[in-house]
């Protein structure tokens, strides 16, 4: 294991992210009165999520390429480990290529939702920030 023993393991961190995302999806699914502000939040969140996936794919690609240089590698199926790692790196590159249009789409969704507004409710007093 790498890193400090006081830091959570990557598996625990990813599990927590996945669990929190699943809870958010379930909450949104149960929402009987969804509105554009929720969708705007989803647009931001999904934009950020896809950006992070792209970033980690880039990091993993570099790490996989460097790892292939190790002389002590083996492969449980008897393949050449360097070839196997090259294939893994190629798949990460394909992932990043596939993310590009998804990242554009979610940014456009976020932008479009950001222009939506509702008429003010006459029964609600509107206050603005500022001093007393």
Predicted confidence at residue 2, as pLDDT, reads: 56
Tell me the C-alpha distance between 17 and 127, whole Å.
Answer: 36
Answer yes or no: is 3 within a domain: no
- Tens digits of residue pLDDT in 74-103: 999 999 999 999 999 999 999 999 999 999
Comparing 113 with 3, which gets the higher pLDDT? 113
Range of the domain at 80: 54-69+76-115
- Tens digits of residue pLDDT in 12-71: 999 999 999 999 999 999 998 988 999 999 999 999 999 999 999 999 999 999 999 899
Cβ count within 10 A of residue 42: 19
Answer yes or no: is 96 within a domain: yes
* H or E element, residue 65: helix 36-67
Cβ count within 10 A of residue 94: 11
Predicted confidence at residue 123, as pLDDT, reads: 62
pLDDT surpassing 60 at residue 127: no
Domains identified in the chain, total number? 1
Tell me the C-alpha distance between 83 and 46, whole Å.
Answer: 34
DSSP alpha helices (H): ranges in the chain? 10-30, 36-67, 81-114
Answer yes or no: is 121 within a domain: no
Tell me the C-alpha distance between 39 and 124, whole Å.
Answer: 23
Answer yes or no: is 111 within a domain: yes
Answer yes or no: is 17 within a domain: no
- Residue 116's alpha-carbon distances to 33, 93, 98, 112, 113, in angstroms, are 16, 36, 29, 7, 5
Tokens encoding 81: 């480990």
Give the pLDDT band (50/70/90) at residue 1: very low
Answer yes or no: is 95 within a domain: yes
Predicted confidence at residue 118, as pLDDT, reads: 84
């Amino acid at each position: 294991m790498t890193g400090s023993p006081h830091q959570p393991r990557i598996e625990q961190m990813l599990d927590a992210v996945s669990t929190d995302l699943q809870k958010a999806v379930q909450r949104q699914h149960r929402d009987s009165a969804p509105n554009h502000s929720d969708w705007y939040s989803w647009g931001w969140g999904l934009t950020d999520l896809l950006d992070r996936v792209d970033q980690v794919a880039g990091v993993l690609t570099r790490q996989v390429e460097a790892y292939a240089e190790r002389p002590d590698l083996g492969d449980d199926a008897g393949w050449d480990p360097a070839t196997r790692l090259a294939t893994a790196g190629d798949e990460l590159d394909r992932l990043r290529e596939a993310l590009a249009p998804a990242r554009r789409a979610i940014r456009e969704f976020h932008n479009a939702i950001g222009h939506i507004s509702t008429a003010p409710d006459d029964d609600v007093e509107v206050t603005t920030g500022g001093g007393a």
